[in-house]
Structure formats: C-alpha cells, structure tokens
C-alpha cells in the first residue's frame, strides 16, 4: 500500500469512497468540486493498493470561506454538508487547520490506514492547532484521535463532536 498526494484523476474514486462512508452525501457534482479544491489548494492524500482504498482531505482554516463561496454560498449554512464544520464554529478556530473528511473502505478498516492518513495530513499541515469533527457514533474515529493526542472540545448538534490537538 502507498500513500500519495491525490490528483484530479483520483477525485472520482475519492467521491465514491466519501459517499460509501457518508451515504447521506448524494450531490456527486458538489463533492467532485470540493475534492478538486482540496487537490488544488489543500491536502488530499489517498491510500492506494491497485485502487484508492482510503483518503483524507485537510486544509488550513483560513481558506475555508473563499472556497465555500467558490463552490456554493449555501455551504456556509450549518448542517448543509456534513464534511464542513458550521460557519459559526469555524470563526472561533480560524487560526488552525481542519481535517475535513476521511473514509477507508470497510475491508481495510482496523489496519492502521486511517491513523496513517491522519498522521500524514497533520505533518503536512504544520499548524499549532488541528481540528476534527466526529459524528458521535463513530467510535473507531474517536479512539484514533485520542491516540493521536486530540481532546474533545465541544459536542454540538446531536451526535457531533469537535476535537482539537494543540
């Protein structure tokens, strides 16, 4: 398995991985544009065997608003897209970085792929504060962020938590 920076040709596979991990995200065109922005201006790392089996998308928070308006202004409304922390929370954490989205194919879970993706993204971000949003039912992700030194900051909206590593 190798971990590489994704490029535009990887985006369709990343969109499929995202939708398999987050089935409520149905807007393929919007996700494609979002991951193209991560490939262009953020961090988009993909784990590959003969195909993409996992990905992580991350970025410094300061680029969020510009990209959100470029994609679709309605993304600034809380809860419109589960991958993005609502705008009022992002205002509080504008100086850090954000691990925005990650998914690993089910047959590769529990093998350290997610943890490796997070460690690579964190190294590349070089930020003092890194934030990640976790759905409350995602216990494996909660365990990973705890092992990596994150602390839970707040629970917002039912079943969503914001974690930080300083």
pLDDT confidence of residue 146: 94
- CA-nearest of 152, 164, 156 to 78 is 156
Q: How many CB atoms lie within 10 A of CB 116?
A: 17
Asked if pLDDT for residue 150 goes beyond 50, the answer is yes
Which of residues 68 and 82 earns the better pLDDT score?
68
Nearby residues of 18 by Cβ (< 8 Å), 6 or more positions away: 25, 31, 35, 55, 83, 101, 103
Q: What is the tens place of the pLDDT at every residue in 77-91? A: 444 444 444 544 554
Range of the domain at 25: 2-165
Nearby residues of 146 by Cβ (< 8 Å), 6 or more positions away: none
CATH number at residue 120: 3.40.630.30
What is the domain count for the chain? 1
pLDDT confidence of residue 77: 44
pTM to 2 decimals?
0.79
Whole-number Å distance between alpha carbons of 29 and 103:
18
């Amino acid at each position: 398995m190798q971990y590489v920076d994704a490029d535009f040709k990887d985006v369709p596979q990343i969109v499929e991985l995202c939708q398999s991990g987050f089935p409520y995200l149905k807007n393929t065109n919007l996700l494609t544009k979002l991951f193209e922005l991560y490939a262009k201006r953020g961090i988009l790392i993909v784990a590959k065997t003969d195909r993409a089996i996992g990905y992580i998308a991350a970025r410094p928070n300061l680029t969020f608003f510009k990209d959100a308006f470029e994609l679709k202004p309605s993304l600034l409304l809380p809860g419109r897209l589960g991958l993005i922390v609502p705008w009022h929370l992002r205002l509080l954490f504008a100086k850090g970085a954000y691990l925005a989205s990650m998914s690993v194919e089910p047959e590769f879970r529990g093998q350290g792929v997610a943890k490796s993706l997070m460690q690579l993204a964190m190294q590349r971000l070089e930020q003092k504060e890194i934030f990640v949003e976790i759905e409350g039912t995602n216990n494996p992700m909660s365990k990973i962020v705890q092992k990596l030194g994150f602390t839970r900051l707040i629970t917002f909206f039912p079943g969503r938590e914001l974690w930080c590593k300083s």
